[in-house]
Structure 1
Amino acid sequence: MQTEITKLLGIEYPIIQGGMAWVAEHHLAAAVSAAGGLGLIGGANAPAEVIRNEIREARKLTDKPFGVNVMLMSPHAEEIAKVVVEEGIKVVTTGAGSPEKYMQMWKEAGIVVIPVVASVALARRMERSGADAIVAEGTESGGHIGEATTMTLVPQVVDAVNIPVIAAGGIADGRGMAAALMLGAKAVQIGTRFVVANESIVHENYKDRVVAAKDIDSAVTGRSHGHPVRSLRNAMTREYGKLEAEGKSFEELEYLTLGTLRKAVMEGDVVNGTVMAGQIAGLINKKQSSKEIIDEIMSEATNLLKNAGSLV
C-alpha cells in the first residue's frame, strides 16, 4: 500500500510506531522498521548521549529507515535536536510544543519533520513553519492528550493543511486504519498495540494489564491543570483523582507521578505506577511480534478498503 507518507519516508506500509517514553527504544523501533513500518526512538527526558546510543544500536538491528521522537519539553531537547543531525537521522517527529526553533537546522540536514498536534490551529502553524507532514492525535490516545477525538480532528486537519496527515489515537487494527484513510489520512500512528509487541522491553506485568483491559479501563488525570494524561485505572490514578478533586496544586500532583511511568514500564508496578495506554487497549487481546501486528493490520485494512470500493 503506497501513499504520500510511504513515499516520503521510504517505507513499505503507512504505519508509524508512536514515540512512547520509556517504551520506544531501539529494539522496538528496529523491529517495526524491519517489518515495513516506521519505527521511532522516543527521546522523552533522556540525555542526548542516551539517544545517540539508541540510534546506533537500532542501526545494528536494521538497515531500514527509522526516526526519533523529540519531546520538546525535555531539558535535553536542544542537544537531542543536534544529535539527530549528527547521526544522520532522516525522520523526526515532535511532541509537547513547537519545533520551530530547530526547523531550519533540520531542514538543512534533509530531515523530514512531522509534528504531533491536537488541534487545527497548531497543524496550520506547523505547516507554515515548514513541517513535511502532521500527526493529528485524538484524545483516545494514551499518555498526554488533547480534547478532540480522532474521528473529528483528522478530517478537520486534512481540510486545513496541504501536507499529508497521519492519524493517531484509538487505532489498533485494520478497521481503525481503513477508517483513518477514509477520513483523509495518508498513514496511521499506533502506540498501545506496539506496547505489547514481543520486541517491546515493557515489563510483562504492564503488557498483561493492557491485554486484560476492558473498554472502560482508562482514566484521564490532570485536566484541572491543563495537562491531561490517559492511563489505565489503578491505585495511582485513584489517588491522583482524589487529590485533584481536593484542588491540590499542579506541583503537588506532579510530585505524586514523578518516576511512576518508569516504575510501571521497567519494574512492572501496575498498581502504583503510571500505565499509559489508549482507550483502544480494550481491543488488544494478545501479544505478537511487530511483524505479525503489521501484517495483520495491513491484511485487514486492505480487504476492507477493497470491499468498500466494491460497494460504491
Structure 2
Amino acid sequence: MTMTLINELLGIKYPIIQGAMAKISTSELVSAVSEAGGLGVIASGGMTTEQVREEVRKTQKLTDKPFAVNVMLMMENRDDIIDVVIEEGVKIITSGAGTPKPYMKRLKEAGVIVMPVVPNVDIALKMEKLGADAVIVEGMEAGGHIGEVCTFPLVSAATQALSIPVVAAGGLSNGQSLAAALALGAKGVQMGTVYLATKECPVSDAYKEQILLSNETSTVVTGRKNGAPVRNIRNEMTSHYLELEAKEVSRDELEALTIGSLYKAVKEGDMVNGSVMAGQIIGTISTIKTVQELHDEILEQYRKVSLPKI
C-alpha cells in the first residue's frame, strides 16, 4: 500500500509534527501534542544526557501515544543521547546540525524511525541515501536556526527529487498552510511557532504575549555573516547584535552577547535582552489555546479549504 500521509508511518492521528524548540519542547508540551493527535518532539538541545532520559520518562508517564526526540548532532553528548533513545524505547527521532550516519545502523536495528531536518535538497538526498525514513525540509521562514531557502520552493523541489516522504516546515500554522503543503506534495507538516501560544507551552507569559503582539514583519535574522543565521523577534539584543555584526567583530564577541539569552526569554520573560525565537508566521496567531483546541482548529480550517475552479 502506498503511504498517503506521514501519520501512517508514525502511527499518529494527524500529519502534524511539533518542531523541537530548545528549552521549550519538554514533556509538558510534547505529551499534549501527542495526546492531541500530533507528534510531540522533545528538544534535547542544551540538555544533559540524564535530563533527556528524565524528559523521556516523564513524557511516557503523560502519554501512551508516539513521540520523538530531536538529537542535535553537534552536541558533545550526542552518542549518549542516542543510547538513551534506544534504551528507553523511543521509536522516532528527528535530527539536525550534523549527519546521523554514524548511528543509522544501531537506530535501524532498534526499530527507530529517523527523520532529519534539512535546509536544502542536496542534503535531503544525502539523508535519503543514508536510509532516512523521511526528511523534514525547513524553509527560512521558521524561527530559530534557519537555512536560506524559502519553504514553497524548497518543498516543491524536494518532493520532486526524493522518493521518501517529505515533511514541510517553516511558516506553517493553520489548516490553510497544511493544505498548501500537501498540495505541493508534502506528506505532512512540522510547526513550531504556533505552539508557543498554547496553554501547555512552558514559556514565560511575556513570551506568549509577545507572540500575540507581533506580526509577519516583527522578526529579524542575526548571524548570517558567520554562517549561523537565527530568526528572532526584533528587540534591543538583536539590534545590538546586528550593529556588532556590521562592524565585523569576532564570533566570540557575538556569542558572548547571546549566552543565556534564550533562557532569559523562555524562563525569565526578558523580551529586551532575551532571544525571542519565532517564525514569520506569528502574524496569524492571535489567541492562546490549548494544544487540542489548536489541532481541532487546524483540522476544521483544512476541511473547509476550497479552491476556485480554473
TM range (shorter): over 0.9
- Equivalent position amino acid for 1:300 in 2: Q
Matches within 5 A, 1:153-232: 153-232=154-233
In the alignment, is the contact (CA less than 8 A) between 2:92 and 2:114 conserved in 1?
Answer: yes
In the alignment, is the contact (CA less than 8 A) between 1:3 and 1:14 conserved in 2?
Answer: no
- Equivalent position amino acid for 2:288 in 1: K
> Per-residue deviation at 1:250?
1.4
In the alignment, is the contact (CA less than 8 A) between 2:23 and 2:46 conserved in 1?
Answer: no
Write the distance in 2 (CA, Å) between the matches of 1:105 and 1:45: 23
Write the distance in 2 (CA, Å) between the matches of 1:78 and 1:266: 28
- Equivalent position amino acid for 1:59 in 2: Q
> Per-residue deviation at 1:3?
3.4
> Per-residue deviation at 1:160?
1.1
Aligned to 1:80: 81
> Per-residue deviation at 1:270?
0.9
> Per-residue deviation at 1:120?
0.5
Asked if 1:16 corresponds to 2:17, the answer is yes
More deviation, 109-118/77-86: 77-86
Aligned to 2:56: 55
Any idea what the Cα deviations from partners look like across 1:206-235, whole Å, max 9, x if unmatched?
A: 010011102210000000010000000000
Any idea what the Cα deviations from partners look like across 1:104-142, whole Å, max 9, x if unmatched?
A: 111110000000000110000000001000000000000
Asked if 1:282 corresponds to 2:296, the answer is no
Provide the TM-score with structure 2 as the length reference.
Answer: 0.97
- Equivalent position amino acid for 2:78 in 1: A
> Per-residue deviation at 1:302?
2.0
> Per-residue deviation at 1:4?
3.1
Aligned to 1:263: 264
Identity %: 50
Asked if 1:250 corresponds to 2:268, the answer is no
Write the distance in 2 (CA, Å) between the matches of 1:102 and 1:285: 41
Write the distance in 2 (CA, Å) between the matches of 1:73 and 1:110: 23
In the alignment, is the contact (CA less than 8 A) between 2:120 and 2:154 conserved in 1?
Answer: yes
> Per-residue deviation at 1:239?
0.5
**Unaligned runs of at least 5 residues, structure 1:** none
> Per-residue deviation at 1:251?
1.6
Any idea what the Cα deviations from partners look like across 1:47-97, whole Å, max 9, x if unmatched?
A: 111010001101111111111111112222111111000000011000111
Aligned to 1:235: 236
> Per-residue deviation at 1:146?
0.4
> Per-residue deviation at 1:252?
1.3
- Equivalent position amino acid for 2:83 in 1: K
Write the distance in 1 (CA, Å) between the matches of 2:247 and 2:168: 36
Write the distance in 2 (CA, Å) between the matches of 1:33 and 1:42: 14
> What's the Cα RMSD here?
1.1
- Equivalent position amino acid for 1:151 in 2: F
Write the distance in 2 (CA, Å) between the matches of 1:72 and 1:262: 21
Provide the TM-score with structure 1 as the length reference.
Answer: 0.97
**Unaligned runs of at least 5 residues, structure 2:** none
Write the distance in 1 (CA, Å) between the matches of 2:108 and 2:309: 43
Aligned to 1:38: 39
Write the distance in 2 (CA, Å) between the matches of 1:129 and 1:252: 37
Write the distance in 1 (CA, Å) between the matches of 2:212 and 2:98: 31
Please state whether the residue corresponding to 1:225 is helix, strand or coil.
Answer: coil
In the alignment, is the contact (CA less than 8 A) between 1:45 and 1:75 conserved in 2?
Answer: no
- Equivalent position amino acid for 2:36 in 1: A
Write the distance in 1 (CA, Å) between the matches of 2:171 and 2:274: 22
